[in-house]
Amino acid sequence: MKKTSTRLADGRELVYYDLRDDTVRDAVDRRPLERTVTTSEIRQDPLLGDSVAIASHRQGRTYHPPANECPLCPSEGERLSEIPDSSYDVVVFENRFPSLAGDSGRCEVVCFTSDHNASFAELTEEQAGLVLDAWTDRTSELSHLPSVDQVFCFENRGAEIGVTLGHPHGQIYAYPFTTPRTALMLRSLATHKEATGGENLFDAVLERELAGERVVLEGAHWVAFVPYAAHWPYEVHLYPKRRVPDLLGLDEAARTEFPQLYLELLRRFDRIFGEGEPPTPYIAAWHQAPFGALDEFDGVSRDDFALHLELFTIRRTSGKLKFLAGSESGMNVFINDVPPERAAERLREVASS
């Protein structure tokens, strides 16, 4: 992998990640952009204790442009985009309309391929491996920013999820705090460790799932399973078999195998609902240990946390979506219409073509 860092016309950082070491990236952003002004502010809810990002400047962000005006495609002739070069393998750049900025963290966009009509599932193993390298490098770089406590790499896919740009891409949020979801995991981890005299909860969960009926895919270094208490109709968790706290902890064997299993998993997601159905909308979310202090979680260290990816769709059956209505949105109590065992069985049935 070759990494080349440059700046866009308004001062934002852009990084090229290339498969070939001899690739030259010297294109200049020719757009007459003024420096980006953001209004991001973090406010804490006094009753729930969680944090909310207030970002009114995002109301003006790009919304479903035609393909020939896509800001994530390479620049070509006089059609100038966020990527100055005429081609790329993987690109990461600071979001022009970030939810988090400055002392409130940072947001980046990850373009998986220059092919506007592709999807992550259509990448080669080499391309998917390069995306993993980019996620890992950005996790490392962002973790050193003084305003960053946790790094979250994710992909939103599909208009049903709320995606406003059709080009295959993901995002990275670098939060200035430990997110509520991770805090819940850490509290459960601490409670279980104390109650069992030191057993790791992630290890216990993984051991139980490996011995059960909800495993979807398994390799030498990774396993994908539908969790016992899945929140979503089709939800799969992908774990490395050797517990590591973040992407930086993966060894070469796990990094090599990841694209094989993950691409197969995504292709199966696209086949869940049968031939002729639109591409399955999904969210793919990496869970990594925070880089900040964990003093509030008694007896828990970063090394106790287990890196894993959660992949889920909001489609519950052909032509129908799972909406977060009263119980989910009002009380955070999920109701799942698809038994996890049946979801796992279905995902085992649909071998990718």
- The residue count for the chain: 353
Residues 6+ apart with CB under 8 A from 17: 1, 2, 3, 89, 90, 91, 92, 130, 133, 134, 137
Q: What is the DSSP letter of 228?
A: T
Residue 197 Cα distances to 3, 193, 194, 204, 323, angstroms: 45, 6, 5, 13, 40
Tell the residue number behind the tokens 């805090």, with chain if given: 183
Tell me which amino acid residue 318 is.
S
Tell the residue number behind the tokens 């495609």, with chain if given: 73
Residue 271 Cα distances to 1, 94, 230, angstroms: 32, 34, 20
- Gap between the Cα atoms of 189 and 192, Å rounded: 5
* Catalytic pick among 169, 221, 237, 308: 169
User: Is 237 one of the catalytic residues?
Assistant: no
Residue 346 Cα distances to 222, 312, 340, angstroms: 20, 14, 10
Contact 347, 272 (CB under 8 A): yes
* Alpha-carbon torsion, ordered 204, 205, 208, 209, to 10 deg: -150
Query: Cα 96 to chain center, whole Å?
Result: 19
Q: Which residues are catalytic?
A: 169
